[in-house]
Amino acid sequence: MDKTQAVQEPSIQVPALEVRGISKSYREKRRELPVLKDVSLSVAPGEFVSIVGPSGSGKSTLFHLIGGLTEPDQGQILLQGQDITGKKGHISYVPQQPALFPWRTIEDNVILAMEVFGVPVREVREEARKWMHRAGLGGFENSYPHKLSGGMQQRASFLRGLLGRQEVMCLDEPFSALDALTRSDMQHWLLNIWEENKRSVLFITHNIEEALLLSDTVYLFSSRPATVLHKVKVPFPRPRREEIAEDASFLALKRELTQYMREEQKKMLEGSR
Ligand code: ADP
Ligand code: MG
């Protein structure tokens, strides 16, 4: 075997993001609610990683921890090898609800992340307009958020995240509020953009098909307290096309993961009785 090959193994690459042994409980009155239990995962540079888990299992809590909005009881968050546990502003974060500022125009919302990084305003506006055009938001630059449909607001919120200068993007169920058709359009759109840009992405969804369509790696989370049940490498080639979802191997993998999730949902329902 050629020795240089071993040196180039991707496993020695420093992960863009590493979640190491995170545990977290919420304390309410005298009760303690364990939400995350020894969760570890990593996102390689340019990798698209999804987390699929039952509703209420602790997925958004994990994002709050990664974003430094709350602190873990145990464990660390590392960004390119640096400890960022409890620190804000290091990742770009697209929340479940678009959360656009109603008093700012769409363009002013989209440029927010770049403004924060001190990119010159003219440059920022040029870049934002180019992307808004690509996202089907051309002509709406000066509109206010309430004038836009849910899908358009979501795209604006996504662009704000995309144009931030952080290496890692965390997306929390960004398409869950959309109808099936808009959702499919948005998946397609995200896939194209990501394949061009190759940002490191951590994506939360409860939709297994969506996770398989978009990701390189899928982590299946258990019911609360969430732990990693399975880590699945998605074997389908890139660029991905939607037709892959009709492939026999895709359907088989989807069936397998769906079965795992059903079992978890059941445990959760039984636990809450
Ligand atoms: P998911 O995103 O997987 O649906 P969350 O992380 O939002 O789950 O919530 C996990 C659990 O933690 C839920 O039972 C929720 O009610 C609880 N929870 C979330 N945030 C808080 C908080 N700030 N204080 C107390 N409990 C919380
Ligand atoms: Mg959530």
Dist. CA 46 → ligand 1 center (Å): 29
Residues 226-240 pLDDT 10s? 999 999 999 999 999
Structure tokens at 79: 């960004």
Which of residues 268 and 251 earns the better pLDDT score?
Answer: 251
Dist. CA 56 → ligand 1 center (Å): 6
In the chain, where the domains are located: 12-91+169-273, 98-165
Q: What totals of helices (H) and strands (E) does the chain contain, helices first?
A: 9, 10
Burial class (CB in 10 A: 0-12, 13-18, 19+), 79: buried
What's the one-letter identity of residue 225?
Answer: P
Mutate which of 22, 35, 173, 228 for ligand 1? The one with the most ligand atoms within 8 Å of its CB, which is 35
Structure tokens at 266: 């059941």
Residue carrying the six token digits 């050629």:
2
Q: Are strands 31-43 and 92-94 parallel, antiparallel or unpaired?
A: unpaired
Q: How confident is the model at residue 11 (pLDDT cuts 50, 70, 90)?
A: low
Buried b (16+ CB within 10 A) or exposed e, 93-127: bbbbebebeeeebbbbbbbbbbeeeebeeeebbeb
Structure letter (DSSP) for residue 147: G
SS3 52: strand
Whose Cα sits closest to atom 16 in ligand 1?
56
Burial class (CB in 10 A: 0-12, 13-18, 19+), 135: buried
Question: Which fold would CATH assign to domain 12-91+169-273?
Answer: Rossmann fold (3.40.50)
Whose Cα sits closest to atom 21 in ligand 1?
26
Is 164 close to ligand 1, i.e. is its CB under 6 Å away?
A: no
**What is the predicted pLDDT for the residue at 4?**
47
* Average pLDDT value for residue range 27-47: 94
By the CB criterion, residues less than 5 angstroms from ion ligand 2 are: 60
Nearest CA to 115 among 163, 67, 58, 184? 163
Alpha-carbon distance of 187 to 214, in angstroms, equals 8
Contacts of 3 (CB under 8 A, 6+ apart): none
**What is the predicted pLDDT for the residue at 114?**
80
> What is the number of the ligand closest to the CA of 54?
1
* Average pLDDT value for residue range 163-169: 88
Rounded to two decimals, the pTM is 0.90
Alpha-carbon distance of 22 to 74, in angstroms, equals 5
**What is the predicted pLDDT for the residue at 44?**
97
Q: How confident is the model at residue 196 (pLDDT cuts 50, 70, 90)?
A: confident
Helix axis angle, 180-197 to 150-162, nearest 10°: 20
**What is the predicted pLDDT for the residue at 135?**
85
Alpha-carbon distance of 154 to 138, in angstroms, equals 15
Nearest CA to 185 among 146, 154, 217? 154
What's the one-letter identity of residue 70?
Answer: T
SS3 93: strand
